[in-house]
Structure 1
Amino acid sequence: MSPPAWLDQLPRTVGSLSPATDTAFTDPLDAAADAISAHAPALSLAVARPGSGLWSTTRGAPEGSRFAAASIGKSMTAALVFQLAHEGRLQLGDTLDRWFPDLPSSHLVTLDHLLTHTSGYFLPASSPLSGPYMPPEDHFARLRDTGPVFCPGTNWAYSNVGYQLLGRITEAVDGRSYAASLQARILAPLGLDATHVLQADTPDPMMVAGHVGGEPVGPVDYATPFAAGPVSSTAGDLVRYWSALLAARITSPAALGQMTETLYPMFGQANAAYGRGIQVSRIDGPGLLVHHSGGVTGFTAGVAWLAEDDLVIAAMTNDRNVPAEAAIWSLTRALRAS
């Protein structure tokens, strides 16, 4: 897919993200949050607008409570890869046999294939994430048995295991754990103190309990997705992160351009596409969104830049049946109507 013309606004200039005080901005959002909070046990919501600052709220849980960001973390993994490429320590065209010579077709699969979900490495989920921690190597072993489901570069399939492979590759290239790289390269420089890298067998004490249809889910080790869904966070931190990403404060402007220059339709939808760690959608109502969504057992999350409104919005819920995208749209409508 050709990138929408409005993407030429990137990198975007980020205004102040200090707490918003203008009641013309905050009052409609507070009212919308009241209405949204009736649909989930807990919510974290945040909106930033140039000239207005950052509004954020937590409902149904103590302020500062964290929620699973799920696949939004894939954009962080992609940013790490682009940083290492900028440093000359890897190239997007590198093939996986450099790190995983025993994977089928690894001499044909490139890092770029993994970033864009076009590698053919795909493992269907047999059930929702549950139970104790499962290391990425268990998934890699399944890949050795199944091989790619299509020839690399010939099709598209959303691949968690592909981003898990990228996580292990960043560790090998950067010489430290994925968590340490993420903390040192993205979270600490941006001051994302409310974002936590999930660790195996170590529950995040600030993370709220997940639900499905209002019912709590059983024990889940949310570190299992690894680099495909690595963090718990708040909506406020996600807005700060997304604003910095789209301002090219994490990667170079050239790398940010690469993240959206080649777009693949997602799940056969003509209005939703995937680049390299970033989704681009055009939806009736919100218009053009540069975003990433996330969903995992008990949680949904979304963060988006709405080009027409120049808003960065994040929403996180602790109920898998309550879509974060609906909350983002509700907040947008509240501002448009004010």
Structure 2
Amino acid sequence: MLLFFLCGLLVAGSIAIHGLMAGYYPILKTSNHRYDAQIMKQVTYPIYRSGPYFTSSSTQTADSNSSNYPNYYVRVMQTKTTKTGTYAKLRYFNQIIGWMNVKGLKSVSLSQIAQATMKQYDVSGSAILASAGSKHIVTVNNGFANAAKKIASQGDGSVLYPLASLQKAMTAAIVQQLITSGKLSPTTKLSTYYPQIKGSSGITIRAMLSMTSGLDNADTTPAKAMTESQAYASMLKQLNATGQTAYNYSDANYVLLAGIIAKVTKQSYTTNLQNRIINRLGMKNTRIIGNQSIDTSMVALSYSRKGESDYSKPQKVSLPRLSAIPGAGNLLTTPSDYYKFILGLQNGSVLTAAQYRQLTSYGTVYSGGMYVGQKGVKYNNGSFSGQGFHTGYYATTGNYHMAIVFENQAPLTLSAGDFVKKMYQVATYY
């Protein structure tokens, strides 16, 4: 019995000595306060895999003379204090990377992280992010709207961007209002309003909202700006009815939906858009092409890159080109104005939450101006072929985490759409 007791003491002593050698220290204090930070001194303050109570070199995520995460932005999830200092548990996007002495970190804001992300990918434009609903939003800008005149990118309304296909959600919202009021139905036939289109008796409003109508068209740039009536007539001449019912993205669907809105209400699409959405939501920095005089000096230029050089091939957006697609991309606006619309889609100002759910349920890939194939997330993108303009929206249902990004020069290394998703991830994890 005595021998067993002595052996136990020897084992316990061995464990205690091993613990000291491994750098085990008891926790004196714990805090669950979270904040954003930038890694500044990883060489001096290594990152440990197992926490502040195991601070030997064998538990470091990198050799003491190297750095895995130089200047990276991270989320501090928790802090623990031992006699050697206070250590932070770090998350990089959705991955826990370890623990680091807080002396190696610098506290930062979401705005700083979003701004740095735009700079990292060399994006020119303006973005608005929501990290935790509408009470936690930031707006960031980078680069120039007009490089020659040194006009900086802005989201305050002094610079306008072509909204492109993000407008389709506005057209769809008006259609949903008409469905709710009984003036249209998801099963209403296109032939009711445009019987001259081949196969229109087999095409429904639902199919047009979900891009499964089989309608297709080529882009056109008229010599001068079109009126609404001229744009509808032009689309009727150029569209192709393929008879296919698989998802196929085409402006023709939403241009004709704008025409149907005008026919049903006996008012122009422009009047409906102005009264039902723009005026109602106070979108003071939104301009409709074909209806309003435009100060083109306020409109951002499109740029591309030539090797390492930014702001090559400056191009103006073609207003006649926009006028040819009412309902599908004939607006100039700002990220903040579009955010007002996005909120109005679910808070009752434009649609109720129930109406929005119906609007986004007509298709499995695309519905009501949104891509809906990813559970719990809605997104859409807009662009004009041959130009550096791109608009994007990516958000959780309810917009708790959200990014709206307007670009006039595409990002480095990522596609324009993937950059919008990257900004959404910044809003989600920081």
Same fold judged by TM-score > 0.5?
A: yes
Output the CA distance in 1 between the equivalents of 2:354 and 2:376: 21
Cα distance change of structure 1 residues 201 and 86 upon mapping to structure 2, 3 Å threshold: closer
Contact 2:161–2:333, Cα closer than 8 Å, also in 1: yes
Contact 1:195–1:232, Cα closer than 8 Å, also in 2: yes
Output the CA distance in 2 between the equivalents of 1:280 and 1:23: 34
Output the CA distance in 1 between the equivalents of 2:202 and 2:381: 29
CA positional deviation for 1:332: 3.8
Q: Does 1:29 align with 2:111?
A: no
CA positional deviation for 1:131: 5.3
Percentage identity across aligned positions? Answer: 21
Contact 1:133–1:201, Cα closer than 8 Å, also in 2: no
Cα distance change of structure 1 residues 56 and 103 upon mapping to structure 2, 3 Å threshold: same
**Residue number in structure 2 paired with 1:8:** none
**Residue number in structure 1 paired with 2:185:** 91
CA positional deviation for 1:303: 1.1
Contact 1:131–1:219, Cα closer than 8 Å, also in 2: no
Output the CA distance in 2 between the equivalents of 1:203 and 1:50: 33
Q: Does 1:137 align with 2:228?
A: no
CA positional deviation for 1:311: 1.2
Output the CA distance in 1 between the equivalents of 2:427 and 2:352: 32
- AA aligned to 1:255 is Q
Cα distance change of structure 1 residues 176 and 89 upon mapping to structure 2, 3 Å threshold: same
Task: Note the alpha carbon deviations across 1:35-54, whole angstroms, 9 max, x for none.
Answer: 34x343xx011012327432
Output the CA distance in 2 between the equivalents of 1:170 and 1:308: 27
Structure number with greater CO (CA < 8 Å, separation at least 6) is 1
Output the CA distance in 1 between the equivalents of 2:393 and 2:133: 17
Q: Does 1:155 align with 2:238?
A: no
- AA aligned to 1:74 is K
CA positional deviation for 1:73: 0.5
Q: Does 1:112 align with 2:206?
A: yes
Cα distance change of structure 1 residues 155 and 331 upon mapping to structure 2, 3 Å threshold: closer
Q: What 5-or-longer segments of structure 1 have no aligned partner?
A: 1-21, 265-272
Cα distance change of structure 1 residues 254 and 228 upon mapping to structure 2, 3 Å threshold: same
**TM-score normalised according to structure 2 size:** 0.61
Task: Note the alpha carbon deviations across 1:291-329, whole angstroms, 9 max, x for none.
Answer: 111111431000121369931210011136774434333
Output the CA distance in 1 between the equivalents of 2:411 and 2:115: 23
Cα distance change of structure 1 residues 123 and 321 upon mapping to structure 2, 3 Å threshold: farther
Q: Does 1:181 align with 2:272?
A: yes
CA positional deviation for 1:26: 2.5
Aligned mate of 1:305, from 359, 382, 395: 395
Output the CA distance in 1 between the equivalents of 2:177 and 2:166: 18
Q: Does 1:55 align with 2:148?
A: no
- AA aligned to 2:391 is A
- AA aligned to 1:181 is N
CA positional deviation for 1:202: 4.9
Cα distance change of structure 1 residues 324 and 202 upon mapping to structure 2, 3 Å threshold: farther
Contact 1:258–1:276, Cα closer than 8 Å, also in 2: no
CA positional deviation for 1:118: 1.4
In proportion to residue count, which structure has more strand? 2
**Residue number in structure 1 paired with 2:56:** none
CA positional deviation for 1:248: 4.7
Output the CA distance in 2 between the equivalents of 1:320 and 1:35: 12
**Residue number in structure 2 paired with 1:244:** 344
Output the CA distance in 2 between the equivalents of 1:229 and 1:117: 16
- AA aligned to 1:289 is V
Contact 2:281–2:341, Cα closer than 8 Å, also in 1: yes
**TM-score normalised according to structure 1 size:** 0.77
Contact 1:300–1:320, Cα closer than 8 Å, also in 2: yes
- Describe the SS at the equivalent of 2:216: coil
- Describe the SS at the equivalent of 1:261: coil
- Describe the SS at the equivalent of 2:391: strand
Q: Does 1:230 align with 2:330?
A: yes
- Describe the SS at the equivalent of 2:111: helix
**Residue number in structure 2 paired with 1:9:** none
- AA aligned to 1:306 is T
Greater shift after overlay, 218-227 or 189-198? 218-227
- AA aligned to 1:160 is D
CA positional deviation for 1:130: 7.4
Aligned mate of 1:261, from 361, 369, 383: 361
- Describe the SS at the equivalent of 2:409: coil
- Describe the SS at the equivalent of 1:225: coil
Cα distance change of structure 1 residues 262 and 173 upon mapping to structure 2, 3 Å threshold: closer
Task: Note the alpha carbon deviations across 1:252-301, whole angstroms, 9 max, x for none.
Answer: 3332122222433xxxxxxxx2123221254xxxx853111111143100
Aligned mate of 2:409, from 297, 311, 319: 319
Cα distance change of structure 1 residues 255 and 194 upon mapping to structure 2, 3 Å threshold: same
Q: What 5-or-longer segments of structure 2 have no aligned partner?
A: 1-106, 145-151, 306-311
